[in-house]
Amino acid sequence: MLTIYGVYRSRASRVYWMAEELGLEFRSVPVLQARRLANPLAEEAPLNTHSADFAALNPMAQIPSIRDGELVMHESLAINLYLARKHGGPLSGNTVEEDGLLTMWTVWAASQVEPHSVRIVLTYDNGLENSEDGKQTIAAACYGLRRPFAALESQLAGRQWIVGDRFTVADLNIAEVLRYAQTETDLFDAHPNIKAWIERCQARPAYKAMQAARAKEPIEV
């Protein structure tokens, strides 16, 4: 059985969504981010990214990780590409060319989008969005997203999904990276193709199931 290590309020959400899309039976092992704990190495601390047991699984001390049989993997977007390829179906590539495009767009999301979108979500997570520094950080991140948004807006012109004629792992991966920036409604309003596309992604039953599980997790530890 697939085992997913990580909490829903983390990048593990992407893997949980993917598992729901594929209809996979999985075991969830909650692993908290160490930064959320006052003393992550305390004897009574819950399992977290600095715990010795988890560090033995993932020396990078980051979530999510998975165990699938004998395979151990890290990096949420790579995990999703692996799961799509292993289980096949509409979320995976139908041809080697489509498979290449799924990888290309996923790497694009990680390299061109997430460095900016994560700055936005962390500013909000730290309650700094209304401070001068926070506003400047968000403005700089939105500026950095201008070119990636223009590229994705063009890719979605006249089509429903990013690759092929169906929802794929590329849509899931990119939608999760862009979710970090959804507080900036003006950015999405200025790109109607992206706005309509992410609404389609987030209307899917598997996404809603992931979010329902996420909502049950406490915000504060």
Instruction: Give the domain extent around 175.
Output: 96-207
HSE-up of residue 34 (Cα within 13 Å, Cβ side):
13
108 and 67 share a domain? no
44, 72, 90 - which closes a domain: 90
What is the CATH number for 21?
A: 3.40.30.10
Residue 13 resides in a domain:
yes
pLDDT, residue 9, reads 96
90, 109, 143 - which closes a domain: 90
51, 66, 90 - which closes a domain: 90
Residues of the chain with pLDDT under 50: none
pLDDT, residue 221, reads 76
pLDDT, residue 179, reads 98
pLDDT, residue 56, reads 96
17 and 120 share a domain? no
DSSP string, 96-157: HHHHHHHHHHHHHIIIIIHHHHHHHHHHHHTT-TTSHHHHHHHHHHHHHTHHHHHHHHHHTT
111 and 186 share a domain? yes
101 and 18 share a domain? no
pLDDT, residue 219, reads 86
Among 55, 104, 102, residue whose Cα is nearest residue 81:
102
- Six-digit token string for 134: 């926070």
150 and 168 share a domain? yes
pLDDT, residue 220, reads 80
Could you write out the three-class secondary structure of 23-83?
CCCEEEECCECHHHCCCCCCCCCCCECCCHHHHHHCCCCCCCEEEECCEEEECHHHHHHHH
Per-residue exposure over 109-123, b if at least 16 CB sit within 10 Å of its own CB, e if not? bbebbbebbbbbbeb
Q: How many domains in the chain? A: 2
Q: Are 109 and 75 in contact (CB under 8 A)?
A: no
- Six-digit token string for 173: 């991966």
d(CA 96, CA 112): 24
130 and 82 share a domain? no
Is residue 70 classed exposed, middle or buried when 0-12, 13-18 and 19+ CB atoms within 10 A define those classes? exposed
pLDDT, residue 206, reads 98
Residue 220 resides in a domain:
no
109 and 149 share a domain? yes
131 and 73 share a domain? no
85 and 161 share a domain? no
pLDDT, residue 84, reads 98
195 and 121 share a domain? yes
71 and 127 share a domain? no
